[in-house]
Structure 1
Amino acid sequence: MGASVGQTSGPDPSSAREKRDGLPTQFKVVLAGESLSLLGAQISTVMIPLIAVLALHADELILGILSAISWFPIVIFGLFAGTIIDRSSRWLIMAICNIVRAALISVIPILAVSNTLNLSALLLVAFGVGICNVFFDIAYQTYVPELVAADALGKANSGLEFFRSAAQLIGPLMGGLLATIYRPEFVVSITSITFLIAFSALLVLPSRFRVRPVNSDSMIGHKRISFITELRTGLSLVWKSSQIRLVVLAGAMVNIFAAGVSALFVLFVTRSLGLDSSVFGITVAVAGIGALVGALTFRCWANFFHEGTCVAVGLLSTGLGTVLVALAVFSNRPMVCLTVGQLFVGYGSPVMNISLVTLRQRLTPLALLGRVNASARVAIMSSLPLGALLVSGLAEATSTTTAIWVSAVGELAVLLILGPFLLRIKANEPTS
């Protein structure tokens, strides 16, 4: 891919700034809006469970269902979302998602004022927001190559991952703090405001960045390709391209073990190690700090290595981090092992994620990118609930410590098996 779609060859008042940082102004506008959307989404992930517990007195089953709703939409709607996005303006999809999310969240305080808020309504709102998140995330990943030249994709994605990591750190803290000050069913209105501001940021973009790409492949001559055919084309490219298939497989495999560690981490800290619950909170925050550092330093790796090698670096950091976490059982200073381990785990995640997204964007023709992104996200995200169930089942049959060790070995095994192949990837040209 060469210059981004819609860029002109004439002088641009912001060209001097763009030469310095390699990112065009239109991308920075979209990034600002996406950052607010991420912050709003993270606040809502804390607020909605708090509303269920504090306002609606939900039990463990309801909380489990609320948690599952966060990943169900990508499994159910992911493939269809990719095909719809390839047929539409990415800008329009993102704008609609922000408006709909703002409207859905605003339903909660409206029902609370009228004393008609109930668990069914909360579940429906959470599910609706989850669907919008699926469309927005895929549209955004597909939209970036329209705004940014191919040689700046890594930098653009690292910027997004930095703000994503910051939102994952700040959003829950902000949501938890605000919920202690006032009733969460009303404080959640802040989330609607962030989505509306994100929508306003998209309105700043010139009209040439709001249209559907001209190189869409949904027409052959004067005949439109069917929706199902387009969907199968995206799946086929993921399967037939050895490089894209390898990228998706690496993300899915490591997620199986990472999801298991995430599900068991609180039990490992409080029961297996006998530490205070505050230690759990501290070590989770440390992982967030590691993620921020990983997003900031990704370009240092990318300046010397191809994205395939960077995926291997992320896998290595995550695997070593999980080993350090597991070693806390044998350490006289378990807090040190947990802290350093979580720092490595947090660091490796954005390095790997940025590399995976950038590889897909560089390897995939723009006309197919929505479907490929969707197919990849379905495969990778579907492994999360699978991993949580498998590793938790292993912990039930053996022990939490054993399951953590198995996960650590599993993550390193993914690196040893797939690492040599990842090192060979050179994403210079899109897959044909």
Structure 2
Amino acid sequence: MKYIVLQPSFYSKFECIGSDCKYNCCRDWNIGFTKQEFKNMKRKIRTEEFREKFEDAFEKYQIDIFHYRIKLDENNKCKFLDENGLCSIYAEMGPENMSLVCKIFPRQTTYCMGKYECFLDIACEEVIRLLLQEKEGIKLEVIEREVTDTEKSGASRIDGEKVKTSSMFQYWVNFKILLLGVLQNREYDFGERMVILGMAIKKIDEMLRNGTANEKAVSNYIQQFVDSFNDSRNKDMYSNLFENADRSGRKRLFNSIVYHYNGTRAAEDLKIQKKINNRIDVKIQLKTEFEIGKEKSENWNIEYDFEKYQQAIRDFEEFIKGKEYWIENVMVEGFLANRFPFRMNGGIWRNYCAMATVYSMMLFMWTCCLEKDSTEEDFIYYTSEFSKSLFNSVNHMTELEKCLNETESETLGHMAALVL
């Protein structure tokens, strides 16, 4: 059976490069198995050597549909990864017995009211290589095609019942028009586009809250907003918004360190943190305070060399000059693949704040990890590593959602200070 599918024009070009993959996806993950996957796999073991590996490879793990996960080795790698960087489950019993997590990645599929959307996760190095080839930006296509069983099984479902219980999902398609219409306007740098996107989402959020939103009103507003922003006659009007903007990156630095250093303890994350610390002389003191009858609170004291940080910003600007579309493509695909602004609970404004925070952390880490003479491969490595941490880590996303729920400072001005 064929379905209507929305996907990037390069989607069908993706092929896993197997043992040639340098930054392997089989590490630092929660690789979950359902009860049925676990039983099927156990039943089909053929060799005693594999059985011994199997017996020590799993632990109980309850989240979503999963009941087991693979324990990682001392290098945070999957225990079924062989010396050639290939999957021994695949070799022992075929691809059909791999975890759904492994079969689907890096494909991210959504089934929305009778149609499929298929994007690619930017934690995969080969996906980033494809994105760097799209000099004119990401183009989406609507095609009629077969959808694989793996794409179907791994799809997040947004059906009629979900739409009924949350009015946000009525605007699923409209927000793609908004994201692409704003974030692909190259007359402005990407941080400025993020601020403009925030202006539109803030207005729509107000419409939703005061009861003036309906599909026609939101659709009309988005189209008018996108048309206005892309009208060259309005360039001065929008550019003037950023005349006195603070572009020092101070708030971005503090925010990034608090979020990222407080998240996953994956080996690659720690290596990146060490590089950042050395580049701009970061020194952190974390004071934990207890109050009677209250939970503990943490007070971060962060010191860094401001001049070295400003030099790092200049070096990154030199590196990315003429290649700014790399940032655009990576972030746009990342947002689409992760279903923003519908990823988190709490409404579209909360989701926008998450988008701005994730972008600001990506920008901060690019700035501190890439030098003037860095290579395309360096960009691919760091981007895939940041993405594993920021988009794919359950710890990071949980921490981010928790912080956004607790803070009172998620204004558009605060977001602008993060992304500019």
Please report the TM-score for the alignment, with normalisation by the length of structure 1. 0.28
Which protein is richer in strand relative to its size? 2
Structure of higher RCO (CA pairs closer than 8 Å, 6+ residues apart)? 1
Please report the TM-score for the alignment, with normalisation by the length of structure 2. 0.29
Which protein is richer in helix relative to its size? 1
